[in-house]
Amino acid sequence: MQSHDKLLGVLDLFDENRPEWGFDDIHERLGYSRSTLYRYLKVLLDAGLLSSFPGRGYTLGPRIIELDYQIMANDPLIHAARPVMHELVASYSCVSLLCRRYRQKVLCVHQEVSTTKVRSNYERGRSRPLLRGAASQVILAYLSSYQLTKLYEEDQDGFADAGLGNTLAAVRKSLRVIRQRGWYHTQGQVTPGVTGVAAPIFDANDEITGSISLTFPEPALSQEKLDSVGERIEFSARVISNTLR
């Protein structure tokens, strides 16, 4: 690993399951020499990316909060999607999520809500598996052949459990159906008892960059409402994509 990869590897340790780490725990997990780890921690502390509390160890630092504010204020995807999402939640009793692909998962970057009947498990900043839920699978459908093949080889059982197929050929067929329709829906795959409807968002190079979705507090929608919502969410996604262009 390059030195910058090792440095970033320290930050990758911190998540909602383990928000605090002691020096010895980091040393044991990463296996860096103690002198190297001290140097990396000092760089991260000086940059504000980590904080240190006596008796508690290390946590993520205030610089990350500052950067998050900048993202909320200036991120092009959020800027393009926010007014569209306002219109959607004004039209339906639902939760609207804006997601983007991040590594081998999907990250929620913005949320709008117009109901208290359902609370999405994936608020801003939380990730979800790339194989679960409409917001994720509609992104999955537009990955390159190489990316899809690599993902399938790494997690064949995951594709089968998600109902996408037991072979790579079957998976490709399922994803082709999603692309042909332009939107996709799932029932209870991420949050039990709800229905999710999502459509893909593309950047200026027509590369998949994320998705917009609506979560309804019903385990199923009538076919008429489902088709109507699907057409609306696909149109909304195209508006966002065009704004990004």
Candidate CATH numbers 1.10.10.10, 1.20.1250.20, 1.10.579.10, 3.40.630.30; the one for domain 3-65: 1.10.10.10
> What residues pair up with 150 in beta bridges, in sequence order?
none
Ranges of each domain in the chain: 3-65, 75-244
Contact of 127 with 108, CB cutoff 8 Å: yes
The mean predicted confidence, pLDDT, of the chain is 92
Candidate CATH numbers 3.30.360.10, 3.30.450.40, 3.10.330.10, 1.10.10.10; the one for domain 75-244: 3.30.450.40
- Reported as a single tens digit per residue, the pLDDT across 65-85 is 999 999 999 999 999 999 999
Residue 172 identity: R
Confidence of residue 1 (pLDDT cuts 50, 70, 90): low
> What residues pair up with 108 in beta bridges, in sequence order?
99
Of 241, 235, 236, residue with least CA distance to 203: 241
Q: Crossing angle for the helix pair 223-244 and 76-91, nearest 10 degrees?
A: 150
Confidence of residue 188 (pLDDT cuts 50, 70, 90): confident
Contact of 94 with 214, CB cutoff 8 Å: yes
Of 125, 97, 122, residue with least CA distance to 111: 97
Confidence of residue 99 (pLDDT cuts 50, 70, 90): very high
The residue count for the chain = 245
